[in-house]
Structure 1
């Protein structure tokens, strides 16, 4: 009681350290500085927070209560009562428009006359007389009016309570917002109870009562399994999950303010209301076009009953920048929105001049030579003087745009000769023209190296039988054997026979034949799109590097029954065959770019993860220890996926416009989901074994032996995979001592069951789904999910501009097939090979649009949270979990140090050497911008 009375006499500045957010630690993972006392063997119900109480961060402004309120104060505590104070941290928007500023002022004045924000404490104990949980009286936040003009981002308010001495400890806080607009609560800390400060991590928007009459409920940061939930919190826990599932709620269109999580199929990619050519098939719910489920929005259906525009299952679209529904707390924070706004402005300016010029002067829609490509980075789009004068005369504002936006109209100059810092923040040069080796991308060894250390290092596989064989129906696609013969490659095997090379694990392959072949007739019928189904064979040299030894380009059978076109190219012996070889490699890269973006990146790390995130919010309470583990790995993902449906994967969107499959991009992604995607093979070790790149070996540190020792993606990935696995093993062991504890966790089992049966309904009956019966099962599942959302996504995403921004290195689409001798185009190739090669690549406008998009996709925002980081230092009250988290952070830091050491090792020729880029995509930390490194906790872009 003495300590409680002393608390009431304290200044309002006293508050928990956890209420001092905004700390950003870069250069290494960070966790709460908590002592290592505590044991994993104590009862869950007696957890105690060890976080210290201290001053708030200097950016937080707290003022004493106003005189007129200070005098009233709470009632004098009864000797058998407890005086407590709630310290509430509210985060304000960085930028407010005039309308919002007026609303803020009105709320402040309304607060002064009684329309205030009310808090209520909920005990972990029940009231034997009333049957429900013990509750405090509601208390108003103090200081809203007095702090209405405070300019800081975070503002702290307080509310005082007096409760009976038998109240117990607070397990929940309710917040009733009687203002006119929503506000964002970052945290609440309740002080004054004998049990110590109670921390409530909120990070949530609280809607006004005019939107939601029910108060918001925030639970303590103490983890509770469902069966261990204190009696006073059991009904609140059940009701909150029911609300998040939308049970009893309106089933119509979701409002932006809603917090409801439901499933739907991908039925909003097309827009049949605009015409039949804008319609796209629904993905999901059909055997031929299966797909994971996405977040339901409930928007009205498109026009029906008016052929040919009718589509019974299509949902009307919301076009960017109009907001698309995700649960309110899944929206981007201010820092992320600012980064995307900068990218949108840059995209507008980057694409304006090429579109304008191509409309005025069709003769410069293509690149005339490689110098034109280089000029995109040096000067932007350089115009002929006559054309420039013509444009300035006809459209005077173009001159102003060019003069005032010079830094944004061009891409950054490749660092070829000089390395002077740019005068302003611009994207770094595409790393493929890094250093002084300007044409490194043309070399065969660099082409092969990127299969191991590029932006898509997850398709290379060991060749286990020769010749390669297709798995497609031979009645439709012809004989399954590859056209590559022993005669094609025997001279490239360093004196070995093909059989010996197979036995010694020296032959490897990129095989895109089966994924492209079913779509090639339709793709090649599109205007300006040409593609093959490709196979590329590589030989592992004695130096540990790969070299390409054959490329096969395949087309489907001819409609007249003739044999399909199968052409095999081998390393060139003369000038003409050299350019044919370069064109063949470009087609391989185009296949690779499509598979990378549509399957490995979008499907495997974005779309396939969405059902697990939706199910987690529907079935795992915020008190559940597994939800606390998963939370940082779900940040922003649903919002970025919703934006992708608006502007990236939608009909006629960026992906269709920029990649060879065009309007068939998402159908190809669905085909891959049906034929290839398996959760049990999504973990790194299982994937490496499936591709024949590793074999099990218990004597190795990670239990695997890589067959290519210098495989940067795999070697660095195993460092992070092992760190994640040990972290998940340790965390699961704290809460699940037996198989029965896993099987008896109703929330956990409901989460996984619904993610599989509803979220992946089209594959629900597959026999390969991992079981969830033991602690080892759970740790394995969590490791896979954390790997996919962090390290796997980072490896596939943040190198897109550095490695793909120089379009000749990695063209996302091709516009010409490879001419054969006797074709009319063959003479054009021989006469001007540079121009012909560039004419086969994307056009000027396609190039600049694609570069701008991957520039944004490769950018880290300033609010990025990296693997091992938990900016919320009070994310759990379990000291054993905090200690394990610190160990995980330390292991991630050690992995980063090892990656840096490897990049300096000249013996590792796939990541170190003249003109060779270091492999840093698995290096955990990064600054903001395009860095070609950094592993965020979640899929944030």
Structure 2
């Protein structure tokens, strides 16, 4: 590669450089010199690429400037240089907006990153139609496993119950201390599933009864696929954690309104009646996971977090440096999803072509889910407590997730406390603007969400940033990485049902169940994932100060220790839970 460099001008604050690219072959470390002169202190470097080909692009990782005395300054880049634009780099030392004597904030991305409203009642998205409209630094690759265990165990009550804790959607289950009025389960119905000397009321008092309520799906009309009406239910499922630590379903009602044509199905019913009821619950799980817990609560929130960070925080801001590895590929994967996996103007192509919940139903569900979105539900320790799941056994999502939350919190606190006091937090206008963008465009100014409207203390900021990083990394891994494991064997996770929920008992047969399941072509949902950087691995040198660098190294050591703990435990499990093993968690949302 031949590189010609030319000094255009020098200034005490700005230092311009022009790189004329003669040939594009491969990446190299490039060194060049400018005539010795007194530049004085400078904080910005501008790069401009000149290429022979119009679409020629070069990736620049960083610029290191060494003065005649040997002192070095680092200017992180980590993005593609384009002939179409000039790139401004800021020196790596972190400063927040209170440090006005150091720099005047220039928020470049606020011009290029604009909000778009897909629907007024769901979080807003970036105003870009294709990934090519994004900055060139958002690029990555794709890849794909096969589960035999699910094929062998999908019909058992034990595995059915297990999936509420450690399957693809460990978010619906909650402890039941009192039955809902619309779920009239009696002790006589379930006594055969309980210990001999016990009762439903006693087990609820002990904290052993749990509920999954899919009320958000109520009233949604099924999709029409290839001219055939599809169906979905809005079930209530009651579960019992038995003395052996197994979570078992003991009652299922498929519609929200109790009536004669809406029977409560029980394990003592015929095996086909019971299996069909469980299949409708699994389909409800599919819808809640795909639309609410995966799309809304990780992808769309991650897009909001990314947009707010790019618009409100300059690259020199310590919070930008901390968050950038966790937002880097979000806009790319979301836009690719809307263009490739998705059939615009719908959001996901499989919802309109392969699933019971079509585009209208999906928007309805997403609106309801957005309205019920709370800050506490995104903060794992609060969420576990609210759902009453502190003591249920074998809940590995909870166990591993809380350990990951604490490791992230320790890391974030170490970095944030290095730059901020409580007063700094209160006076950082860019930080407050960043939060306002998230509240307005992600939570739609919902006063019932519990989302903070401003930050007053370091502790508040640390918790919020911990939530953000956990959401886009660990939480996304928990609700995404098992898609193929739990969904490749279609009967375990049906995307649609071709028959309506049964209104009477004793009618289901093996043939009627098979006829209710999706056609083969409607189950061919391509499962891929994008290879992002592993959790805690930060190849970009965005920090230069000793304290954040030390905290990053300690963070990696803590993650490695947790990896060892999880792998040691998994050796003794029939079905290992590995989705929150740090080595399987990506830095950012990647599918």
Within 5 Å, which residues of 2 pair with 1:648-659?
648-650=341-343, 651=346, 653-659=349-355
CA distance in 2, matches of 1:488, 1:522: 34
Query: How far does residue 244 in structure 1 lie from its aligned partner after superposition?
Result: 2.0
Per-residue displacement from partner, 1:159-213 (whole Å, max 9, x unpaired)?
A: 3123534x334422111223344432222111235362212211122232xx34x
Question: Cα 1:538–1:766, aligned 2, differ >3 Å: closer, same or farther?
Answer: closer
Match of 1:870 in 2: 538
CA distance in 2, matches of 1:822, 1:584: 10
Counterpart of 1:263 (choices 115, 121, 131) is 115
Match of 1:34 in 2: none
Match of 1:463 in 2: 176
Maintained 8 Å contact 1:173/1:217: yes
Maintained 8 Å contact 1:530/1:815: yes
Match of 2:43 in 1: 171
Question: Cα 1:121–1:685, aligned 2, differ >3 Å: closer, same or farther?
Answer: farther
CA distance in 1, matches of 2:194, 2:8: 76
Query: How far does residue 809 in structure 1 lie from its aligned partner after superposition?
Result: 1.4
Maintained 8 Å contact 1:119/1:176: no
Maintained 8 Å contact 2:97/2:430: yes
Match of 1:403 in 2: none
CA distance in 1, matches of 2:231, 2:134: 41
Cα RMSD after superposing both structures: 2.7
Within 5 Å, which residues of 2 pair with 1:259-658?
260-266=112-118, 283-284=119-120, 290-297=121-128, 323-324=130-131, 326-329=133-136, 331-333=138-140, 336=141, 339=142, 428-433=145-150, 438-466=151-179, 468-469=180-181, 481-495=182-196, 496-512=198-214, 514-520=215-221, 527-554=228-255, 565-572=261-268, 577-650=270-343, 651=346, 653-658=349-354
CA distance in 2, matches of 1:720, 1:119: 48
Maintained 8 Å contact 1:119/1:173: no
Per-residue displacement from partner, 1:717-768 (whole Å, max 9, x unpaired)?
A: 111011001111111110112x2110111111111112212x1363354462
Question: Cα 1:644–1:544, aligned 2, differ >3 Å: closer, same or farther?
Answer: same
Maintained 8 Å contact 2:263/2:504: no
Maintained 8 Å contact 1:611/1:755: yes
Query: How far does residue 491 in structure 1 lie from its aligned partner after superposition?
Result: 2.4
Query: How far does residue 555 in structure 1 lie from its aligned partner after superposition?
Result: 6.4
Structure 2 SS opposite 1:483: coil
Maintained 8 Å contact 2:443/2:449: no
Maintained 8 Å contact 2:123/2:370: no
Match of 2:408 in 1: 724
Maintained 8 Å contact 2:239/2:248: yes
Structure 1 SS opposite 2:98: helix
The structure, 1 or 2, with the larger RCO (C-alpha pairs under 8 Å, 6+ apart) is 2
Counterpart of 2:34 (choices 137, 149, 161) is 161
CA distance in 2, matches of 1:441, 1:499: 30
Q: Structure 1: which 5+ runs fail to align? A: 1-61, 63-107, 127-132, 247-259, 267-282, 285-289, 298-317, 344-426, 470-480, 558-562, 694-705, 906-911, 926-933
Question: Cα 1:121–1:509, aligned 2, differ >3 Å: closer, same or farther?
Answer: farther
CA distance in 1, matches of 2:521, 2:251: 33
Question: Cα 1:442–1:787, aligned 2, differ >3 Å: closer, same or farther?
Answer: same
Query: How far does residue 429 in structure 1 lie from its aligned partner after superposition?
Result: 1.7
Maintained 8 Å contact 2:231/2:497: yes
Within 5 Å, which residues of 2 pair with 1:138-149?
141=19, 144-145=21-22, 148=23
Maintained 8 Å contact 1:121/1:170: no
Match of 1:789 in 2: 472
The higher radius of gyration belongs to 1
Query: How far does residue 440 in structure 1 lie from its aligned partner after superposition?
Result: 1.2
Query: How far does residue 156 in structure 1 lie from its aligned partner after superposition?
Result: 3.0
Query: How far does residue 609 in structure 1 lie from its aligned partner after superposition?
Result: 2.3
CA distance in 2, matches of 1:755, 1:121: 40
Maintained 8 Å contact 1:728/1:783: yes
Question: Cα 1:763–1:519, aligned 2, differ >3 Å: closer, same or farther?
Answer: farther
CA distance in 1, matches of 2:571, 2:9: 57
Maintained 8 Å contact 1:122/1:173: no
- In the superposition, the TM-score normalised over structure 2's length comes to 0.92
Per-residue displacement from partner, 1:380-438 (whole Å, max 9, x unpaired)?
A: xxxxxxxxxxxxxxxxxxxxxxxxxxxxxxxxxxxxxxxxxxxxxxx5223444xxxx5
CA distance in 1, matches of 2:580, 2:443: 33
CA distance in 2, matches of 1:686, 1:525: 44
CA distance in 2, matches of 1:754, 1:461: 32
Per-residue displacement from partner, 1:313-366 (whole Å, max 9, x unpaired)?
A: xxxxx6xxxx45543235314xx1xx3xxx7xxxxxxxxxxxxxxxxxxxxxxx
- In the superposition, the TM-score normalised over structure 1's length comes to 0.59
Within 5 Å, which residues of 2 pair with 1:801-816?
801-816=484-499
Match of 2:109 in 1: 244
CA distance in 1, matches of 2:577, 2:30: 47
Structure 2 SS opposite 1:547: strand
CA distance in 2, matches of 1:868, 1:679: 24
Query: How far does residue 673 in structure 1 lie from its aligned partner after superposition?
Result: 3.1
- The count of corresponding residues between Structure 1 and Structure 2 is 583
Are residues 1:900 and 2:567 paired? Answer: yes
Structure 2 SS opposite 1:164: coil
Match of 1:733 in 2: 417
Structure 1 SS opposite 2:177: coil
Structure 2 SS opposite 1:728: helix
CA distance in 1, matches of 2:298, 2:432: 23
Question: Cα 1:896–1:761, aligned 2, differ >3 Å: closer, same or farther?
Answer: closer
CA distance in 1, matches of 2:303, 2:64: 32
Structure 2 SS opposite 1:189: strand
Are residues 1:889 and 2:556 paired? Answer: yes
Are residues 1:918 and 2:565 paired? Answer: no
Maintained 8 Å contact 2:491/2:517: yes
CA distance in 2, matches of 1:291, 1:462: 28
CA distance in 2, matches of 1:177, 1:118: 12
Maintained 8 Å contact 2:19/2:50: no
Structure 2 SS opposite 1:245: helix
Structure 1 SS opposite 2:263: strand
Question: Cα 1:687–1:207, aligned 2, differ >3 Å: closer, same or farther?
Answer: same
Maintained 8 Å contact 1:263/1:295: yes
Maintained 8 Å contact 2:91/2:316: yes
Structure 2 SS opposite 1:816: coil
Within 5 Å, which residues of 2 pair with 1:172-187?
172-179=44-51, 180=54, 181-187=56-62
Per-residue displacement from partner, 1:79-107 (whole Å, max 9, x unpaired)?
A: xxxxxxxxxxxxxxxxxxxxxxxxxxxxx
Match of 2:589 in 1: 939
CA distance in 2, matches of 1:525, 1:140: 58
Question: Cα 1:817–1:669, aligned 2, differ >3 Å: closer, same or farther?
Answer: closer
CA distance in 1, matches of 2:519, 2:478: 28
Match of 1:838 in 2: 514
CA distance in 2, matches of 1:893, 1:904: 17
Query: How far does residue 117 in structure 1 lie from its aligned partner after superposition?
Result: 6.1
Q: Structure 2: which 5+ runs fail to align? A: none
Query: How far does residue 595 in structure 1 lie from its aligned partner after superposition?
Result: 0.2
Maintained 8 Å contact 2:74/2:92: yes
Are residues 1:188 and 2:60 paired? Answer: no
CA distance in 2, matches of 1:292, 1:325: 23
CA distance in 2, matches of 1:734, 1:716: 28
Question: Cα 1:533–1:822, aligned 2, differ >3 Å: closer, same or farther?
Answer: closer
